[in-house]
Chain A
Amino acid sequence: MEQNKQYSVNDYSCPLPITDYDKVIMAHGGGGTLSHRLIEKMFLSQFDNELLNLQHDGSVFEIGGERFAFTTDSYVVQPIFFPGGDIGELAVNGTVNDLAMCGAEPIYLSVGFILEEGFPLEDLWRITLSMKRAGERTRIKIITGDTKVVDRGKGDKIFINTSGIGKVYPGIEISPKNSRPGDVIIISGKIAEHGVAIMSAREGLEFETAIQSDTLPLNRLVSAMLKVSNKIHVMRDPTRGGVASTLNEIASSADVGIEIDELAIPISEEVKAACEILGFDPLYVANEGKMIALVEKQDAEKILRIMKNHPDGKDAAIIGKVVSEHRKRVVMKTSIGSMRIVDMISGEQLPRIC
């Protein structure tokens, strides 16, 4: 069909369309198609440059012959304290992980706090201590920061922004574009734990489970992996939008097909059960301490072994491969042996009625 043609309602054979929103809705931040379209139309088109356009977790650039990675992320998680972590730990680990996914060792972090009037200082202290511990664990220093307070009701307790800078390991070239047919896809552990833990703690859900967030810095695992192989083509942490969205992003930016095996994907029984009850597909649920690596086949077993021997990757598994067919698409072999498409999530996952 022609581009830019204005369609009237009568052109459609279905009920009246809502083709676009003129205000921001929650799904614009959900990591799915709506988020991507917002970023592409609004930001990429205007900020347009070769580093940004790569759309990696962070940007890698050269200064004085050395390569650095730079990234930023904002944290608005609700509740701010959840099973397995809190917003502070998440804000350090998340940015550390974005740097690690660029093949960089994190060095420095900035922190910006937006605090709501009336927020208990005791809670802020807990969050600060937790950030300190997370920083020590990852050997990253918080070297600059900012604090702003907004009127009661104009924020939600606390928002944190962190930016990070890291030094890229020499000889390492990590980018979503680098994956090619034949690459083996490894995931570092069990999926969907962070998202389910958050859902279980969210006010009013009355959903009790022992599932903890998997929030974890991945730089130690990445460093161990890069020591044994320089044939790692892509690393990504499947945060919002989950494993499915991350694999779709890789397939699309590298123009390759991806094939995964449902039975090979590590997932705990508790998370599986919680997802059944909530009507969620765990492939779309957020992770905060897991990574997906696309590696050359000849090194796959070696890298997997290193990951499994590392405490941060003990449940690592090979879940699929890159293929030259069905480009830009992710296809999964189901548990009963048929094949189906794994699509990019469109907005937020909405729990179903029954």
Chain B
Amino acid sequence: MKYIDEYRDAKAALALIKKIKSTAKKSAVIMEICGGQTHTILKYGIEELLPTNITLVHGPGCPVCVTPLELIDKAITIASFKDVIFTSYGDMLRVPGSKLDLINVKANGGDVRMVYSPLDALKIAEVNKDKKVVFFSVGFETTAPPNAMAVVEAQRRKLDNFSILCAHVLVPPAIEALLSSRESRIQAFLAAGHVCTVMGYSEYIPISKKYNTPIVVTGFEPVDILQGILLAVQQLEESKCEVENQYSRAVRLEGNPNAKKLLTETFDIVDRKWRGIGTIPQSGYRLKEKYSTFDAEKIFNVEYITKEESPLCIAGEVLQGLKKPTDCSAFRTHCKPETPLGAPMVSTEGACAAYYHYHK
């Protein structure tokens, strides 16, 4: 496959590993933000190829994992209504809420459907006018533009039976929250390449300066990740702290202006709860007032639902990169993909699932 195979090439990967080994004199703790990157690291066994003085920690970049319990409970409540068709990306279906998951709701007779795009949910709304069609709008800045577009389209087509349950989260505030934490031991970040295709990377420049931390915008294939690590290591060795773009084949400094404009017009930036981390200021999207008739939280009156996570939860520490999944006593014993105790075990991008499937 063009533009993929080149980045999975053994020779290129081995050359980079050699270079990393000869460059890394000091020890370095590097966090990859995105769950997709975590999966590549585990799937290709990258950690075992790296020198021992480089530690990778896995960041909170899996939207499924960081969606708070109460939002899952809201989704489950809405999906259980008789006149609702609840649509969602596949990997949200298995995330446990406080009692059930969406798969349970389906087995109990709820109309829960997996879709690949919010526009598919719009189509369902168009042919099921007697039902209320709700789309679980989850993701980082990457999936926010198509979801915003679905709302704009629904308004244009006058589909008043369509709404979204908005759970969008933003990456830069999370990076800042992690860096400002006293427990943080992260020395460099690999930023999520796909988020940056939409948003660009200018917003990372002040963060990198303020916290004196290199940030490398990085892609998702093994050679991408290794290049990202090398760039981060080079900066750390030279005591630099810059924002570099490894993923230049997809990312520009300014990002995608059309998508960004759509986001500004559709969403307000609000404080948002992250599973296992807590509320991060100005870290999520909510539909603007002019689109409030498409806001499922308002339509179904579920704004009152709150749920506190267990204070014992190690999922939070995993998401913050403080612990590895293997540090959890439930890992592989009580917590498995088919019986997940926490969201990072559910999602294909979750750190715990990645460790479960690929780690020897």
Assuming the A-B contacts A7-B334, A18-B101, are A25 and B120 also in contact, with contact meaning beta carbons closer than 8 angstroms in the complex?
no
A276 and B143 CA atoms in complex are apart in Å by 17
A279 and B143 CA atoms in complex are apart in Å by 15
B245 contacts the other chain (Cβ, under 8 Å)? no
Within 8 A of B (CB), among A239-284: 269, 272-273, 276, 278-279
B217, chain A: closest CB distance, angstroms: 16
Asked if A354 and B142 sit within 8 Å, CB to CB, the answer is: yes
In the complex, residue of chain B having the shortest beta-carbon distance to the beta carbon of A331:
B360
Interface stretch, picked from A82-90, A118-126, A147-155, A342-350, is: A342-350
Interface size class of B (residues with CB under 8 A): 35 or more
From A15, A27, A350, give the contact of B341 (CB < 8 A).
A15
A156 and B1 CA atoms in complex are apart in Å by 37
Assuming the A-B contacts A18-B100, A341-B357, are A351 and B91 also in contact, with contact meaning beta carbons closer than 8 angstroms in the complex?
yes
B124 contacts the other chain (Cβ, under 8 Å)? yes
Asked if A13 and B330 sit within 8 Å, CB to CB, the answer is: yes
Asked if A23 and B338 sit within 8 Å, CB to CB, the answer is: no
Assuming the A-B contacts A1-B333, A21-B104, A27-B103, are A352 and B89 also in contact, with contact meaning beta carbons closer than 8 angstroms in the complex?
yes
Assuming the A-B contacts A204-B123, A350-B91, are A16 and B48 also in contact, with contact meaning beta carbons closer than 8 angstroms in the complex?
no
Asked if A14 and B356 sit within 8 Å, CB to CB, the answer is: no
Asked if B4 and A15 sit within 8 Å, CB to CB, the answer is: no
Interface stretch, picked from A190-198, A213-221, A332-340, is: A332-340
Assuming the A-B contacts A272-B1, A336-B10, are A16 and B96 also in contact, with contact meaning beta carbons closer than 8 angstroms in the complex?
yes
A15 and B69 CA atoms in complex are apart in Å by 9
A15 and B308 CA atoms in complex are apart in Å by 10
From A206, A273, A334, A354, give the contact of B120 (CB < 8 A).
A206
Asked if B43 and A340 sit within 8 Å, CB to CB, the answer is: yes
In the complex, residue of chain B having the shortest beta-carbon distance to the beta carbon of A1:
B333
A171 contacts the other chain (Cβ, under 8 Å)? no
A24 contacts the other chain (Cβ, under 8 Å)? yes
From B10, B104, B348, give the contact of A18 (CB < 8 A).
B104
In the bound complex, residues from chain A placing their C-beta under 8 Å from that of B104 are: 18, 21, 23, 25
Assuming the A-B contacts A346-B337, A354-B194, are A338 and B342 also in contact, with contact meaning beta carbons closer than 8 angstroms in the complex?
no
Asked if B63 and A353 sit within 8 Å, CB to CB, the answer is: yes
B8 contacts the other chain (Cβ, under 8 Å)? yes
The interface bits of chain B over 16-50 (1 if a CB of A lies within 8 angstroms of the residue's CB, else 0) are: 00000000000000000000100000111110110
Asked if A16 and B99 sit within 8 Å, CB to CB, the answer is: yes
A268, chain B: closest CB distance, angstroms: 10
A311 contacts the other chain (Cβ, under 8 Å)? no
B152 contacts the other chain (Cβ, under 8 Å)? no
From A32, A33, A354, give the contact of B139 (CB < 8 A).
A354
A224, chain B: closest CB distance, angstroms: 33
B170 contacts the other chain (Cβ, under 8 Å)? no
A208 contacts the other chain (Cβ, under 8 Å)? no
A31 and B240 CA atoms in complex are apart in Å by 51
In the bound complex, residues from chain A placing their C-beta under 8 Å from that of B14 are: 336-337
A25 and B107 CA atoms in complex are apart in Å by 6
Total number of A residues with any Cβ neighbor in B under 8 Å:
50
Asked if B310 and A15 sit within 8 Å, CB to CB, the answer is: yes
In the complex, residue of chain A having the shortest beta-carbon distance to the beta carbon of B16:
A336
In the bound complex, residues from chain B placing their C-beta under 8 Å from that of A336 are: 8-10, 13-14, 44-46, 49, 222-223
In the bound complex, residues from chain B placing their C-beta under 8 Å from that of A350 are: 90-91, 93-94, 114, 348
A12 contacts the other chain (Cβ, under 8 Å)? yes
B242 contacts the other chain (Cβ, under 8 Å)? no
Name the residue in B100, B107, B356 with the highest tally of chain A Cβ atoms < 10 Å from its Cβ.
B107
In the complex, residue of chain B having the shortest beta-carbon distance to the beta carbon of A20:
B339
The interface bits of chain B over 88-122 (1 if a CB of A lies within 8 angstroms of the residue's CB, else 0) are: 01111110101111011011100001111100100
In the bound complex, residues from chain B placing their C-beta under 8 Å from that of A21 are: 103-104, 107
Chain A residues within CB distance 8 Å of chain B: 1, 7, 9-10, 12-21, 23-27, 32-34, 204-207, 269, 272-273, 276, 278-279, 331, 334-341, 343, 346-347, 349-354
Other 16 A-B pairs with CB < 8 A, given A276-B1, A340-B44, A341-B357? A10-B312, A12-B335, A19-B334, A23-B108, A24-B107, A204-B113, A204-B115, A206-B117, A331-B360, A335-B10, A336-B44, A336-B222, A338-B44, A339-B45, A346-B338, A353-B138
Name 14 interchain pairs, CB-CB below 8 A, sorted by A: A12-B330, A13-B313, A13-B329, A15-B343, A21-B103, A27-B338, A34-B338, A273-B1, A334-B45, A335-B222, A336-B9, A339-B45, A350-B90, A354-B142
Top 8 closest A-B pairs, CB basis?
A338-B45, A350-B90, A14-B341, A346-B338, A346-B337, A14-B342, A336-B13, A351-B90
Chain B residues within CB distance 8 Å of chain A: 1, 4, 8-10, 13-14, 36, 42-46, 48-49, 63-64, 69, 89-94, 96, 98-101, 103-104, 106-108, 113-117, 120, 123-124, 138-140, 142-143, 194, 222-223, 275, 309-310, 312-315, 328-330, 333-343, 345, 347-349, 356-360
